[in-house]
Amino acid sequence: MDFTIMRHVHYCLKALSFLLFSGSACGLQITSTSPTSIEKASGETVKLDCQFTLSAEDSGPLDIEWSLQPSDNQKEEKVVIVYSGDRAFEHYYEPLKGRVHFNSPDPKNGDASMNIMGLKATDTGTYQCKVKKVPGISSRKFLLTVMVRPSKPRCYAEGQTHAGKDMVLRCSSVEGTQPLQYIWERTTGNKLLPPLAVLDPVGGTMSLRNATEAASGTYKCIAKNRVGTGECLVEVNITQPPNNAGVIAAVVICILLILILLALLLFCFCRARNKKKYEKEIAYEIREDVPPPKSRVSTARSFTSVGSQRSSLGSMTPSNLHEYTKPQYDKIPSEEYEKPPSHAPIPPPSRMAGPNLSRMGAIAVMVPAQNRDGSIV
């Protein structure tokens, strides 16, 4: 009795297992044994394997349907590709249009596998292969994860590159599916990292504490995830700190020289300005002391007057002497004497001594004395 019960229980478990994995109690079965969880890099091609077998009992039309299962149970699944009535329909799902097709040109021969080309991160999801041939039906699900390779990372150093100081080497990738891991290597010298280096594989940093000149060299950072890697190089040059006292002294000397130069320029400018002002004042004083020039008309008149007096005195006789002694008020002055010779003032006539007149050619003449009535004494 117990043996019969155990036999029935074993048969029920076997039937339940068949229903769970084949999706059908009849002869149609999906025979693929490939992994159902697949990870691929973006840009690659993936094959979702879905091989099946039929039995003599499966006599209905063959229908194959691939669908994208929703992450939320309340949403509907999206049909991706369909094979029905001996025809393939590959334009159901717009995001995969032109990138998805059946692996076999004739899926009814037992290959319902689907290929997706040019994978994108948005293609990540759960895909289901459902094969139906009445009365048989079976299905299989695949979890596809599309990962992005790390982009070329950027490497750089932060901090002072002087011996005895701390500095940090940083490495970061802009693109790449997490988790990303960063690995530092040394490519020159003994290729060993400094003994005081502290690594952060998640943040991508390497801290060099109390750096020495021995830490100088080329370092490589590798950013990696499950589908790819990226790398970059950074050069580190540790030098001795500069002499700060000498730098300060040089700066002070330069400042003093600049101040002295400015003082000299200011002194020269003030001296030139004062000299120019002094020359202008001297020129004004000289112009005030010089008398105005004599008019050419008055000078010519003086020579004409002297010449006429000379000729008159030379021809003077007792008979015509009264013509020079009598004032001639009845003569009208000519226009020459009415017009002023020039605007310059005429200096008063100066008395000339006898010797000076003789030098000029004058002749001494004795003039007889006259009484009040004009008679000669």
Percent of the chain with pLDDT over 90: 46
Percent of the chain with pLDDT over 70: 67
The type of residue at 116 is I
188-243: per-residue pLDDT in tens?
A: 888 899 998 999 999 999 999 999 999 999 999 999 999 999 999 999 999 888 77
162-190: per-residue pLDDT in tens?
A: 888 999 999 999 999 999 999 999 998 88
Query: Comparing 113-122, 165-174, 250-259, 280-289, which segment has the lowest mean pLDDT?
Result: 280-289
**What confidence score (pLDDT) does residue 274 get?**
83
Mean per-residue pLDDT, 256-271: 90
Structure letter (DSSP) for residue 70: P
The type of residue at 199 is L
Class of 29-147 in CATH: mainly beta
Question: Which are the contacts of 369, defined by CB distance < 8 A and separation ≥ 6?
Answer: 376, 377
User: Is the separation of the CB atoms in 124 and 146 below 8 Å?
Assistant: yes
**What confidence score (pLDDT) does residue 355 get?**
57
Confidence of residue 4 (pLDDT cuts 50, 70, 90): very low
Answer whether residue 145 shows pLDDT above 70: yes
**Summary mean pLDDT of the chain:** 78
**What confidence score (pLDDT) does residue 376 get?**
61
Answer whether residue 114 shows pLDDT above 90: yes
The two three-digit tokens of residue 328, written as one number:
């001639």
Mean per-residue pLDDT, 80-90: 93
**What confidence score (pLDDT) does residue 290 get?**
54
Cα atoms in the 13 Å half-sphere on the side-chain side of 295: 12
Query: Comparing 131-140, 230-239, 298-307, 348-357, which segment has the lowest mean pLDDT?
Result: 298-307
How do beta strands 37-41 and 136-147 pair?
parallel
Mean per-residue pLDDT, 152-163: 92
9-61: per-residue pLDDT in tens?
A: 443 444 444 344 444 444 789 999 999 999 999 999 999 999 999 888 888 89
Answer whether residue 332 shows pLDDT above 70: no
**What confidence score (pLDDT) does residue 299 get?**
45
Mean per-residue pLDDT, 264-275: 86
Q: Where are the domains of the chain?
A: 29-147, 154-236
Answer whether residue 279 shows pLDDT above 90: no
Residue written as tokens 């991160």?
A: 121
**What confidence score (pLDDT) does residue 16 get?**
41
Answer whether residue 337 shows pLDDT above 50: no
**What confidence score (pLDDT) does residue 351 get?**
52
Of residues 106 and 327, the one with the higher pLDDT is: 106
What is the CATH T-level fold of the domain 154-236, as seen in this structure?
Immunoglobulin-like (2.60.40)
User: Is the separation of the CB atoms in 201 and 181 below 8 Å?
Assistant: yes
Answer whether residue 345 shows pLDDT above 70: no
pTM over 0.75: no
* Domains 29-147 and 154-236 are alike in CATH topology: yes
Structure letter (DSSP) for residue 14: H
Mean per-residue pLDDT, 322-334: 46
The DSSP annotation for 76-140 comes to PPEEEEEEETTEEE--S-GGGTTTEEESSS-GGGTB--EEE-S--GGG-EEEEEEEEETTEEEEE
Answer whether residue 6 shows pLDDT above 90: no
Cα atoms in the 13 Å half-sphere on the side-chain side of 225: 20
Confidence of residue 282 (pLDDT cuts 50, 70, 90): confident
